[in-house]
Structure 1
Amino acid sequence: MNLKRVVVTGLGALTPIGNNIDEYWNGLVDGKSGCAPITYFDTEHFKTKFACEIKNYNPTDYFDRKEARKLDKFAQYAIVSSEEAIKDAAIDLEKVDKFRVGVIWGAGIGGIETFQEEVIGYANGNGTPRFNPFFIPKMIADIAPGHISIRNGFMGPNYTTVSACASSANAMIDALNYIRLGHCDIIITGGSEAAVTIAGMGGFNAMHALSTRNESPETASRPFDATRDGFVLGEGSGALILEEYEHAKARGAKIYAEVVGGGMSSDAYHMTAPHPDGIGVERVMLNCLRDAGVTPEQVDAINTHGTSTPLGDVAELKAITKVFGDHTPNININSTKSMTGHLLGAAGAIEAIASILAMQKGTVPPTINHTTVDENIDSSLNLTLNKAQKRDITYAMSNTFGFGGHNACVLFKKLKE
């Protein structure tokens, strides 16, 4: 089958270390921590009292008050980042065939804050069901791409992928394949999440999944460090414009990178824990390389899932070593979650953006907060510790894994005419 080529022509981001693409990239290169004490609610009785919140965000900077009240924060974030990406791609909405422009979005949880508020309101109302008429349309995970399409008139495929923390990576892979097969010219893809809430923090604390380094929150997300004690919850959104290569060329679009492959697999092992030997992770990277027609020796950089959990980091690095063999020490491996925290369903999107910009800029962002060597991690690996590194990158891989054993991997290539 003669598949179409797919490129990235626009980017948008709203993250704990920057509220647009430029701020986000500068935060990454500078090794900026987005973690701080939670401001959204009183954490007195919570085990974890910090998170990676969006800073200096006011909904009325983007929406009128009436519209903002109808949108959960995860949908607001999706709209903000997608509008930046559409503008960045210089898409002329009057000239594109809107039946061939789609929106495929990722969200692991969706409107958890809306759900929380409505249920608490019900409980406090002595059982009287006085629910907001916008409760359901604010909460459902598929509403974010719905709003993006409505605002812009895009009438191609429109839906949300839900695979926990792999959600936005799965969305990108679906977008890649729809365009490859000739069904669309352009797809707005990515993911958003806004789970820094009473329910989100309480639930992850109950699982013992979160770091409890309350005395030093800015250093709590410490992937690959021997003293890591769990992930740090983050929030935000990342958007990418994927476009058929000839379509992009014909309209003179700026091209960031080519999307050359996507892989998926399942751990089939445990609800939340990774397979200790990284079998599913190994398979997803092999599937991605096979899909791209790229050998392991061609890969220059890997933005890992790297959540800062004791089991997950080791399992992922074991899998990388199996897949890339003797070439592994030559790869720049990093985890940008050390700075942004874990954005759950939006993680794949903002980390794909980090990989693309690393190729563009010739710089790999660091894995910050590393102080203590883990004897279970191969010391020959270049984990890009604490300081950004200059690197000419042709192929960059981004890994994303989710509760339920969902694994997704995307491979990008620096476009050379």
Structure 2
Amino acid sequence: MNDKISITAIASISALGDSSSDTWRGYGRDGHCFEEQDFDNQRTWIAPLSPTLKQEIQQLKGSNSKYKNLDDTVLYAIWVSRAVIGKAGWRAADNFGINIGSSRGATQLFEKYHEDYLQHKKTATLTSPTSTLGNIASWVGHDLQTQGPDISHSITCSTALHSMLNGIAWLKSGMANRFLVGGSEAPLTPFTIAQMKALKIYAPMTSTPLSQHDDMVAEQSRSYPCRALDLDKSQNTMVLGEGAAMACLEVGLWENSLAVIEGVGYATEPLEHNVSISTDAVCFQRSMKMALGNLSPDEVDAIVMHAPGTIKGDMTEFKAIKEVFGNKTPFLTTNKWKVGHTFGASGMLSVELAILMLQQQEVIKVPYLVYESTRKSLNRVMVNAVGFGGNAVSVLLRRP
């Protein structure tokens, strides 16, 4: 990447809160953000937004008659997009581009409309336009009144990082100077959770330790329903969360640059199964190597892994990292143990964690893992994401 592209602002909402300071403090606190709730008479772990934040989203919904029929996925995107362009100092007249995606799209509305159809054999007038995945970016563009391109897409769990790739492509082509990119997801619905349970990847409701660590670590692991990056777990432990995260991309290096995007990589491998990737994640090997470019692997200080908390997903990514980095493995972390898997928003939440670590010069450890040592300084952090179908993305961030 010859032209420097900076991230000049980032914002999010998740179970951790709605500000970077809250998010960083949340990562530093012991424990997770999961709650037990009933879904179809089954107790289930989830990572929802706080009641206070939910209320703010509802106020947004009631602030404009056009917004009352929008899905939470769209409302989350609008809320965070307002926040992030405020941080960046952008105005509508800047005519920046928008690329915001979602894995599931308008999940809540779609399920509601479908249930109504099954009962009444007809559906509401606005069913189609409000349940279409492509309405996320267009509604954000409408809300912000920018005249740039509005793009929505779904590439499952790597959606947010693919939106970053697309924004970078627009900037490098000279067709835009600024791009708002990210992902939004509101998947905490009975049907969505039932789908994950059907795949047998969801965290069980149990107090039995699922790890083969020593007694102290095994005792600690009881407190963490999702054991992302625990390579000794004997069951899948994915937990769903909800949220949204957006970043402002600009060409050049600016006083408010939070990080420079030093490299990007992407790869898709042939499917061996509908939901799996190869045992050593060839797609991740290719995406990480592409993101590194000519940079030596030992120049990367940390990797924020995708690591969804499943046995195969965590292990294959770890093996791919070992293939690329050899004995000079960077510090490894993930945030799924804390906020759950937010599907299409997860990649940008990982970017936020990477930026916060670069700013604070401190790594976030996974609490139930034993780390041999940590680096004294952080200059480069890589972020990984992958979705069903083996669509991997790696983004290399550097301190400005």
Whether these two folds match at TM > 0.5 is yes
**Equivalent in the alignment of 2:334:** 335
**Equivalent in the alignment of 2:284:** 281
From 237, 248, 255, the counterpart of 1:241: 248
Pair 1:105–1:90, CA change in 2 (3 A): same
Q: Deviations over 1:253-310 (max 9, x none)?
A: 51101112211111313221221122221111111112xx422111001000111111
| Contact 1:106-1:169 at 8 Å conserved across structures | no
State the 1:62 CA deviation.
2.8
How many residue pairs match? The answer is: 380
| Contact 1:355-1:396 at 8 Å conserved across structures | yes
**Equivalent in the alignment of 1:377:** none
| Contact 1:31-1:339 at 8 Å conserved across structures | no
User: What is the alpha-carbon distance in structure 2 between the residues aligned to residue 281 and residue 414 of structure 1?
Assistant: 23
From 169, 172, 177, the counterpart of 2:164: 172
User: What is the alpha-carbon distance in structure 2 between the residues aligned to residue 3 and residue 177 of structure 1?
Assistant: 12
**Equivalent in the alignment of 1:402:** 387
The two structures have a TM-score, normalised by structure 1, of: 0.86
Q: Deviations over 1:40-90 (max 9, x none)?
A: xx42534x6121111121123334263442210011111111111111111
Q: Deviations over 1:386-405 (max 9, x none)?
A: xxx77421111000010111
User: What is the alpha-carbon distance in structure 2 between the residues aligned to residue 103 and residue 407 of structure 1?
Assistant: 22
The two structures have a TM-score, normalised by structure 2, of: 0.89
| Contact 2:40-2:190 at 8 Å conserved across structures | no
**Equivalent in the alignment of 1:232:** 239
- Give the AA of the match of 2:394: C
User: What is the alpha-carbon distance in structure 2 between the residues aligned to residue 55 and residue 214 of structure 1?
Assistant: 24
Q: Unpaired segments of 5 or more residues in structure 1?
A: 374-380
Q: Runs of at least 4 residues of structure 1 off by over 4 A?
A: 214-218
Describe the SS at the equivalent of 2:392. strand
- Give the AA of the match of 1:102: G
- Trace 1:52-67 onto structure 2 (pairs within 5 A): 52-56=47-51, 57-58=54-55, 59-64=57-62, 66-67=65-66
State the 1:92 CA deviation.
3.6
**RMSD, aligned α-carbons:** 2.1
User: What is the alpha-carbon distance in structure 2 between the residues aligned to residue 255 and residue 391 of structure 1?
Assistant: 23
Describe the SS at the equivalent of 2:366. coil
Q: Deviations over 1:86-116 (max 9, x none)?
A: 111112444x2x1xx1001121110011110
Q: Unpaired segments of 5 or more residues in structure 2?
A: 209-221
**Equivalent in the alignment of 1:308:** 309
Q: Deviations over 1:6-38 (max 9, x none)?
A: 101111110012122221221112244111112
State the 1:326 CA deviation.
2.3
- Give the AA of the match of 2:393: A
User: What is the alpha-carbon distance in structure 1 between the residues aligned to residue 376 and residue 136 of structure 2?
Assistant: 36
- Give the AA of the match of 2:385: T
User: What is the alpha-carbon distance in structure 1 between the residues aligned to residue 384 and residue 31 of structure 2?
Assistant: 21
- Give the AA of the match of 1:235: E
User: What is the alpha-carbon distance in structure 1 between the residues aligned to residue 376 and residue 336 of structure 2?
Assistant: 20
**Equivalent in the alignment of 2:113:** 118
**Equivalent in the alignment of 1:150:** 142
Pair 1:31–1:413, CA change in 2 (3 A): farther
User: What is the alpha-carbon distance in structure 2 between the residues aligned to residue 368 and residue 190 of structure 1?
Assistant: 28
User: What is the alpha-carbon distance in structure 2 between the residues aligned to residue 154 and residue 262 of structure 1?
Assistant: 27
